[in-house]
Amino acid sequence: MIKYLVVLLWPVAAAAHPAASQAADYPASMFGIRSDGVTLNTRSIQYAVDYIHDKGGGKLVFDVGRYLTGSIHLRSGVGLELKEGAVLLGSLNPFDYDKDGFTALLLADSVRDISISGRGVIDGQGRAVAAAIVGLARSGVIHDPLQHDRPNEANRPMLIYFRHCSEVALKDITLANAASWVETYDQCSGLTIDSIRVDSKAYWNNDGMDVVDCSQVKITGCTIDAADDGICLKSHDPAAACTDVLIRDCTIRSSANAIKFGTVSRGGFRKIRILHNRVYNTYRSALALEAVDGAVIQDVLADSLTAVNTGNALFVRIGARSGSRESKIAGVTIRHFSIEIAAAKADSGYPYEGPIEDQPRNISPMVLTGLPGALLQDIRLEDVTVRYPGGGNAFIASRGLTDSVPELPANYPEFSMFRELPAWGLYFRHARGIQVKNLRLFCAARDYRTAIVLDDVEGGTWEGTVVKEPGNKKVFFLKGSSGVGMK
C-alpha cells in the first residue's frame, strides 16, 4: 500500500518544480532574483533567461516587488511576465547597460518568439540615469558632446531595443521613465503591441514607440503619454520599409507629433492603416507623413482620428534632406477626421515642452506640400472637420497672401518649418490629382488670411466644402494651379 502511494504522488511533487516538468512558467524567486529594489539582479535574471531558453522556452514570472537590473538580453522562446505590483527597475549606473550601437534595459537581436506581458511596470528611472551620464561626460569618463547640455541619445538607455526579431509580443505592460526613446523595434516582423501603457516624460527624446523598417505590425489599444513623438514609424535602410502596419484604437498625447512617419525616411512606408485613434494636448501634428530622405510613402489609409488641443491637424511633406533618390508620396487617404486646434501652446505644463521658438505666430492647421518636380500624388481628403481658434494677426504677420513661401528642401520637417503660411485652414502645394470631399473648416475669430490656398496644384476634384469664419471672406486662393474641378 505504501509503494502504491509513492507512485501515485510522484507526478504531483514533480509538477511543483518547473525544471523537472519543463513547465511554461518559472518564478523569478527560483533563480534567487531579489525583489527588494536594492540588490542588482542583472546576472541572475540573465541566467534565468538563458536557462529557460535552454529548457525549450517559457516565461520568467515576476511577482510583486521591485527588481533592480541592468541590461538583459532576451533569447528565443522566452517571455517576461510582470504581475500587477511587479516593477522591473533600471539601474542608476550607466555602466550597467550594454551598448551595441544603442543601449537599452531589454535587448534582443535576431531571436524569435519573445514576449513581455502582465500588468506590472518597467521603469527606467531615466532622469536620474541621464543626470549620471551628464556627470560622467563632464568629468571626461565617457565621451559625449553634451549638445544642448544633454547626452546623445545613443548614450542613454532605452527601455526596449529589439532588432532583426520575429514574432514579438507586448501586452498590458506599462513602460515608464526612459532616459531616451522608450522602445525601438528595428527590422522586426510579426510585431504585436496590444493594450500597453507608455508614461514617459522623464527626459528629452522620449518617443513613445519607434517602429523601424518592420513588417506585419499590429499596434492596438495602447495609451501613450510621451515627451516626444507618440508612435513614430521610421525607415533607416534604403532597401527596406515599414510594411503592413496597423495602428488602431490608441490614445496619444505628445510634446511633439502624435503619429508620425519619419523623420529618418530612407526606404519607405507601404500598406499602413491608422484607424480609430484619439489625440490630445499634442504640441505639433496629430498626423505627420514625412518623406525627406528618399523614402516612398504609398498605400496609406488614416480613418477616424479625433484630436483635441493639438498644434496642427495634418502635415504631409516631401523633402530632399538626404539620400540619392527622390522622395515620393502617393496614394494617401485621410478621412473622417475631427480636429480642434489649440488656442495656446498645447503642451504647456509638461516637464519637457516643445520649444517655444518653433511655435508659429499664425498657425495653419493643415499643411500638405511637395517640391517642384516631386509632387504629392493622389491625395484624398474626405469628411475632414477642423476647428481653428483663428485670430491670425496681420500686424505680426511674416508673410502675406501673395508672398512666396520658401521651399526649404533640406530642412528638418515639421509643420512649423515655414514659420507662417498664407492660409488659415489648408495649404496645398506641389500636388497632382488631389481629391477633396466634404471638407469643413471653422474659424472662431476673424483671421487676416484666406481659408484655403492651392499653390502649384494640378488636376483633381473638390466638392462639398464648408467654411465658416467671421467676415465671410473669399474661401479659395489659387496660385499657379489648374484643372481642379470644384463643385
Q: What is the pLDDT of residue 12?
A: 33
pTM of this structure: 0.94
| Paired strand residues for 166 | 112, 189
Q: Are 128 and 94 in contact (CB under 8 A)?
A: no
Q: What element of type H or E holds 2? A: helix 2-15
Cell numbers 516624460 label which residue? 201
Cis peptide preceding 263, ω within 30 of 0: yes
Residue 140: all three cell numbers together: 571626461
Q: With the C-alpha atoms ordered 456, 457, 463, 469, is the resulting torsion angle positive or negative?
A: negative
Q: Are 98 and 106 in contact (CB under 8 A)?
A: no
pLDDT of the chain along its 487 residues, tens only?
333 333 333 333 333 334 434 549 999 999 999 999 999 999 999 999 999 999 999 999 999 999 999 999 999 999 999 999 999 999 999 999 999 889 999 999 999 999 999 999 999 999 999 999 999 999 999 999 999 999 999 999 999 999 999 999 999 999 999 999 999 999 999 999 999 999 999 999 999 999 999 999 999 999 999 999 999 999 999 999 999 999 999 999 999 999 999 999 999 999 999 999 999 999 999 999 999 999 999 999 999 999 999 999 999 999 999 999 999 999 999 999 999 999 999 999 888 899 888 888 888 999 999 999 999 999 999 999 999 999 888 877 777 776 789 999 999 999 999 988 999 999 999 999 999 999 999 999 999 899 999 999 999 999 999 999 998 778 999 999 999 988 7
Q: What is the pLDDT of residue 404?
A: 86
Q: What is the pLDDT of residue 9?
A: 32
Q: Are 180 and 157 in contact (CB under 8 A)?
A: yes
Q: What is the pLDDT of residue 359?
A: 85
Cell numbers 477616424 label which residue? 304
Q: What is the pLDDT of residue 212?
A: 98
For β-strands 450-463 and 166-171, DSSP reports them as unpaired
Q: What element of type H or E holds 49? A: helix 42-54
Residue 53: all three cell numbers together: 531558453
* Residue 145: Cβ-neighbour burial (10 angstroms; 0-12, 13-18, 19+): exposed
**Among residues 129, 161, 134, which one has the least CA distance to residue 147?**
134
Distance CA 137, CA 225 (A): 29
Q: Are 199 and 254 in contact (CB under 8 A)?
A: no
Cell numbers 516643445 label which residue? 354
Residue 23 makes CB contacts below 8 A (sequence gap 6+) with 15, 58
**How many CB atoms are closer than 10 A to CB 239?**
9
